Amino acid sequence: MRHKGSLHEKLFNLTWPIFIETSLIMLLGMGDIFMLGTYDDNAVAAVGVVNQMLNMVFLLFGVVTTGTSVLCARYLGMRQHSSVRQVVGVSILFNLLFSGTISFFLGFYAREIVGIMDLREGVCEYAVDYMTWVGSFAWLQAISLTISAILRSLQRPKFPMIAILSVNIVNIIGNYFLIFGNGPFEPLGVTGAAFSTVFSRLVSVLIVITALKRIVLPDLSINDIIPFRWNRLKELLQIGLPGAGEMLSYSLSQVTVTYFINIISNEALIARTYVVNIVMIAYLFAYAVAQSCSILVGFYIGEGHTLAAHRLMLHCSRRGIQVSLSLGLIIALIIGPLMGLFTQDSMVLAMAAIVVWIDVILEIGRALNMIVIAALRAAGDYIFPVAFGALSVWGIATGMSWVLGITWGLGLTGVWIAFAADENIRGWIMLHRWNRKFHTGELRLKT
């Protein structure tokens, strides 16, 4: 990392490529959803449900990825370059073996896994097809996520950005030919979208591996991977397990709530899928800032500069909230014509028009959550965000979704009210914890 320049300059240099990369990742998911929207609304619901379940699996892969990102930044700040290489080697090998095992079960037991959601007949077969193919090759996403996190932590965020740009191009072209049967291909629908997704992820893996070995860490060798260093894995898991536990709890909660929404109606499930993909635009900037903030906080705390870390976190939180709130308002104002591009179902449109206004409030808490929790994790506070996060997402987001959405009959509107309450309560409590740790001198690494 360069040691010159202001905090804001360093933040900007890290954030903009991560923001572009994250935007392109969002477009990748939206590409499948919205291109399938012109094929069949049931296909949209199916892919939305499967992606929700796969996101939970990707969080398992993130157990090591999260720890890798924090430790690489920390050791870089301490100038311990051999430790950086060892962390990289352990994380890649472990995630390859772990994700390969998970991928086998996802593909082989796709029907049983999808059956948990009790989907309607018109949606279920689409979901099984998509899970079979995308799940079988989930290990590609695991390797791509791991190496991309390494590259960002080593201050080379442009390479993951280039990789995901290439992936978007490949995926859109693949969707065009395989979903609709253009050119010499037969129309494959959801299966075509799955083939395109798998191939595009293979492209991503090839790009980030090439960047890591040939440009960023050319001195990375087999000696950094074998013999396997269990002490490094222990370090990674100490950070990654709590962090992934928090996200896994959240994702399990979302899967449970998706099941509730399926009970409400098929239109609610379709509306939820469209809205979730559209409102990603509102929190993309906050997510990118959270990633950059985590890297820089880990670096500065590794150097012992806790005041710089504190000022950076506060600055990131303000900017994240401002941008997320502004984008949320814009989405709410244009949701009618925007949704009209993909569906003409009046019930779906009516539900979406209501929940996006609730989402404006939700985005305030979501931005604060992402940024402060990322900073707490980089500062070594792993347990509290997980414990309180689990209490909040299950007690408020999930519990209130059932009460408001099902028991009180508010439907998708009640679910979104529960989401907004959860995000904002968690966000402000995490900010209070960060401030208390800074003012009491706890904001430093234990040695």
Please tell me the distance from the alpha carbon of residue 374 to that of residue 153, in angstroms, as a whole number. Answer: 13
CA distance 445 to 304: 8
31 vs 335, more confident: 335
Token code pair at residue 154: 């080593």
- Asked if residue 195 lies in contact with residue 32, where contact means CB atoms within 8 angstroms, the answer is no
Residue 11 is predicted with a pLDDT of 75
Using the predicted structure, report yes or no on whether residue 423 has a pLDDT greater than 50. yes
The Cα 417–Cα 409 span in angstroms is 13
User: 95-112 as b/e, with b when 16 or more CB fall inside 10 Å?
Assistant: beebbeebbeebbeebee
Task: Express each pLDDT in 162-204 by its tens digit.
Answer: 888 888 889 889 888 988 888 788 878 888 888 998 999 999 9
- Min mean pLDDT across 198-202, 378-382, 416-420 is at 378-382
For the ranges 115-129, 358-372, 404-418, the lowest mean pLDDT is seen at 115-129
With tokens 């990289």, the residue in question is: 88
CA angle 257, 263, 264 (to 5 degrees): 95
Q: Between the ranges 49-53, 230-234, 244-248, 391-395, where is the mean pLDDT highest?
A: 391-395
CA dihedral 444, 94, 106, 173 (to 10 degrees): 90
pLDDT at 334 (0 to 100):
93
Cβ pair 225, 92 in contact under 8 A: yes
pLDDT band at 1 (very low <50, low <70, confident <90, very high): very low
d(CA 271, CA 405): 14
Q: Taking 80 as the threshold, does the pLDDT of residue 297 lie above it?
A: yes
Which has more confidence, 346 or 403?
403
Q: Answer yes or no: is pLDDT of 446 > 50.
A: no
Between 5 and 441, whose confidence is greater?
Answer: 441
State how far the Cα of 130 lies from the Cα of 354, in Å rounded to an integer.
30
pLDDT at residue 243, as a whole number: 64
CB 277 within 8 A of CB 29: yes
Q: Which amino acid is at 341?
A: L
The pLDDT mean for the chain works out to 83
Distance CA(416)–CA(410), nearest Å, equals 10
Higher pLDDT, 146 or 24: 146
* pLDDT tens per residue, range 204-225: 999 999 988 887 777 777 776 7
Which of 15, 244, 266, 227 minimizes the C-alpha distance to 117?
A: 266
Is 80 exceeded by the pLDDT of residue 342?
A: no
Lowest mean per-residue pLDDT among 107-116, 131-140, 242-251, 314-323: 242-251
Question: Is-contact 167 200, C-beta < 8 A?
Answer: yes
Q: What is the pLDDT of residues 92-142, one digit of tens each?
A: 888 888 889 999 999 999 889 888 877 777 788 888 889 999 999 999 988
* CB-CB neighbours of 317 under 10 Å: 24
| Nearest Cα to Cα of residue 16 among 363, 254, 319, 364 | 319
One DSSP character per residue, 325-376 reads HHHHHHHHHHHHHHHHTT---HHHHHHHHHHHHHHHHHHHHHHHHHHHHHHH
- Would you say how long the chain is, in residues? 447
